[in-house]
Structure 1
């Protein structure tokens, strides 16, 4: 089967466009499911203009009662309980969104550059499984290997050379709710505000080291990790377990198999005992609870590498527009939405800004709804894959409702726009968020 081997597929957008084109022409294999089922699912999504699965709608997913019960049992007094999440979810730290838990951004104030594990958002397609590290095995298999399947135990993985990187993970739909509340445009899916992101210090092995030990060949084209969580069902089609292919060039570049998070063993809700961390690519690429990896000598295609993460709506073709690739540029205040503040009382506004394309180099803040802007003080050295913290002093002079705005610029020269290009699934919101506050006597 001919491949586009001359193409550089390390860029996610280029990769996904290529795989979609190949699959449409019968040149990419529908990994893990029948092609007819995939066509049925694709047709349903195109007709609707969006799909609940892509948007993260909880009712489309099958969840295990065991994990849900464990979540309720493990919660501290006063904690909330979300189906399938194991860790406590105090309401001052999280907002529950179906099977997911969004970090309340105000809870990050004073926490440092890394997001504490107890405040890190949870994005589950189904439920958090309990996987014993001692019994966990990673099976690497496929016709892109020189020999047969190779298994890695937890101990074998940890014996490989260790790498540590500080990187953010962000859901593709982070800030989705602002399409509706700020731009008056209808979208589907989990109504995240800005808390579907977290930055952690990940420690683990390079995926490239695992693949080389397994005998990856020069003829390998795609590498597809698959999770150990429950199978997903959407529009009457069983999609199997969550999986998303990577081009072999990306897999051999900078992808991690992480087993520690902020210096501790990787918690179950965040993919423990082992998960992928794929720098720069949208969160769905960083498969949690990874259990096997197929290495293929032919192009692979799954519901999660294109049509479930494509743009629908005005300005896009009826069958769906560009795929969702890396995340965008955003800023957030470490303050509750709708907060009340006192007039004439000095305070310091704090927040964080990030970009998947390049380090953030500048943040401008307005405290009067965009009438006037001033530059914020940046407290961190800008770096690729992370965020920067910033602050600006403010003494409110008049009472009443106003809006705080933060606008970031990254090293490519890109600045957050006033409005974000609409798509019905609410992906890639990048506009300046109008953060409402009320000044009282």
Structure 2
């Protein structure tokens, strides 16, 4: 009987689970292994949630039924969604929040209709600055009494990008309930908080939205005790992980494959290097890409090792914008965007 991995539980209420990313090799993450990030309990859905309402600064407010959207020309994208708090557990000094390790990221094929196409049918009034998205899920934030829905906005330019889509399928099947059925916003290159699940309302606004998931959470706060120099979390950092070998593995002498994945929210991955001498020298790995503009890159390296002892394996990725993983992460008190070079320690016996 084949052994299979499981999701890694971080919290049950609301449910937050990591993907077993170190044991997944397909380009497309099966739905059952897709990481789960929730701020609230799963929402109750009714037939009215099969409608998507667009209002605000539009010429003609409209509501689109799921069947209306299914009848439109579709677009498919393969891309990774990554929680902004992915790798938070690696920060030093430690920060509060869900202690994600490496698995708050998954990649799949999303199919839907470009948001720009829907907005073309409602019209966009002058002075529109942002597009506001509201999910069905709701609840209370800690130390708050009021019930609030999950709401976030995008700059109009990002919302109108041809690859910002209203998705209704994942890996060629209807999006399942826990991943946002029936509608999920998909925003390529941005961290996952932008891809609102259970999407029910879209509103065009002429100012900057300042809801709690926009101007409190998902903000980089560089200082521990004040909000000076803060700025919003948006696109993914250049990043990578070592999938195999696992940390603190016991290995024999011989040939071992070191492998992993790399991704970036700006441009493409142009190289991944590994170091086996604590960063003194770096060696190139072999890259494997899909013909998809947003997909992560697989990388591998054959390590010939004959000398017994303890080793540290470092990996760092570079992208086409000239960004490279730093030795030290940009510390921020909510623990977003960790992308420092990670190391895996192994012992050759």
Contact 2:253 2:308 in 1 (8 A): no
Q: Where do residues 59-98 of structure 1 align in structure 2 (5 Å cutoff)? A: 92-98=5-11
The SS at the match of 1:250 is helix
Aligned pair 1:100/2:16, yes or no? yes
- 1:306 and 1:318 map into 2 onto residues whose CA distance is 11
Summarize deviations over 1:369-392 as a string: whole Å, max 9, x none. 434421100011575422100111
Query: Does the aligned pair in 1 maintain the 2:19–2:104 contact within 8 Å?
Result: yes
The more displaced of 294-303 and 225-234 is 294-303
CA shift digits 1:128-161 (9 cap, x unpaired): 335367861111122x0224x4211110111122
Q: How many pairs does the alignment contain?
A: 343
2:303 is matched with: 394
How many angstroms does 1:315 deviate by? 8.4
Paired position in structure 2 for 1:49: none
Tell me which residue corresponds to 1:167. 79
- Looking at structure 1, the residues matched to 210 and 21 of structure 2 have their Cα atoms a distance apart, in angstroms, of 36
The answer to whether the Cα contact below 8 Å between 2:224 and 2:333 also exists between their aligned partners in 1 is no
Superposed displacement of residue 119, structure 1: 1.6
Does residue 348 in structure 1 map to residue 260 in structure 2?
no
Between Structure 1 and Structure 2, the one with more strand by share is 2
Structure-1 separation of matches of 2:307 and 2:291: 35
CA contact (8 A) 2:249 2:345 kept: no
Distance 1:134 1:302, change over 3 A: closer
1:227 shift after superposition: 0.5
CA deviations over 1:13-43 (Å, ceiling 9, x no partner): xxxxxxxxxxxxxxxxxxxxxxxxxxxxxxx
> Distance in 2 between the 1:225 and 1:371 partners?
47
Determine if contact 1:93/1:107 at 8 Å carries over to the other structure.
Answer: no
Q: What residue number does 2:137 align with?
A: 229
- 1:156 matches 2:65: no
Distance in 1, matches of 2:230 and 2:207, equals 25
The answer on 1:188 being equivalent to 2:68 is no
Q: Give 1:308's match in structure 2, choosing from 217, 225, 248.
A: 217
Instruction: Classify the secondary structure of the residue corresponding to 1:92.
Output: coil
Contact 1:343 1:398 (C-alpha < 8 Å) held by counterparts:
no
| Contact 1:382/1:388, CA 8 A, preserved across alignment | no
Distance change in 2, residues 1:239/1:284 (3 Å): farther
Q: Give me the whole-angstrom Cα distance separating, in 1, the residues matched to 2:316 and 2:126.
A: 45
Whether contact under 8 Å (2:272, 2:315) holds in the other structure is: yes
Q: Contact 1:133/1:154 (CA < 8 Å) preserved in 2? A: no
Q: Is the 8 A contact 1:139 1:151 kept in 2?
A: yes
Matches of 1:396 and 1:360, distance apart in 2: 28
Structure 1 residues 292-324: Cα deviation after superposition (integer angstroms, max 9, x where no partner): 111224443212222322222448954561222
Which residue of 2 is the match for residue 213 of structure 1?
Answer: 121
TM-score by length of 1: 0.72
1:377 paired to 2:286: yes
Partner of 2:268: 359
Give the drift of 1:344.
1.3
- Shift of residue 263 of structure 1? 0.9
- Comparing both structures, which one devotes a greater share of its residues to helix? 1
Displacement after TM superposition at 1:363 (Å): 0.6
Q: What SS class does the counterpart of residue 346 from structure 1 fall into?
A: strand
> Matched residue of 1:284: which SS?
helix
Spell out, residue by residue over 1:202-238, the C-alpha distance to the aligned partner (whole angstroms, 9 max, x if none): 1001111112222332343221110011223232243
Aligned residues of 2:245 and 2:258 also touching (Cα < 8 A): no
Q: Distance in 2 between matches of 1:340 and 1:407?
A: 20
Cα offset, 1:325, TM superposition: 2.0
Q: Residues of 1 paired with 2:130 and 2:321: CA distance?
A: 30
| Equivalent-residue separation in structure 2 for 1:234 and 1:320 (angstroms) | 24
Q: Does the CA contact (< 8 Å) of 2:259 and 2:300 recur in 1?
A: yes
Question: Within 2, Cα distance between the matches of 1:329 and 1:371?
Answer: 21
The 1:131/1:290 distance shift into structure 2, 3 A limit, reads same
User: Does the Cα contact within 8 Å between 2:220 and 2:332 map onto a contact in 1?
Assistant: yes
Aligned pairs for 1:118-133 (under 5 A) are 118-129=32-43, 131=45
Which residue number in structure 2 is paired with residue 116 of structure 1?
A: 30
How far has the Cα of 1:96 moved from its partner? 0.9
Q: Contact (CA 8 Å) 1:202, 1:260: kept in 2 or not?
A: yes
Q: Which runs of 5+ in 1 are unaligned?
A: 1-89
What root-mean-square deviation, in Å, do the aligned CA atoms of Structure 1 and Structure 2 show? 2.3
- Point out where structure 2 has 5 or more consecutive residues left out of the alignment: none
2: CA distance between counterparts of 1:299 and 1:370? 44
User: Does residue 1:270 correspond to 2:179, yes or no?
Assistant: yes
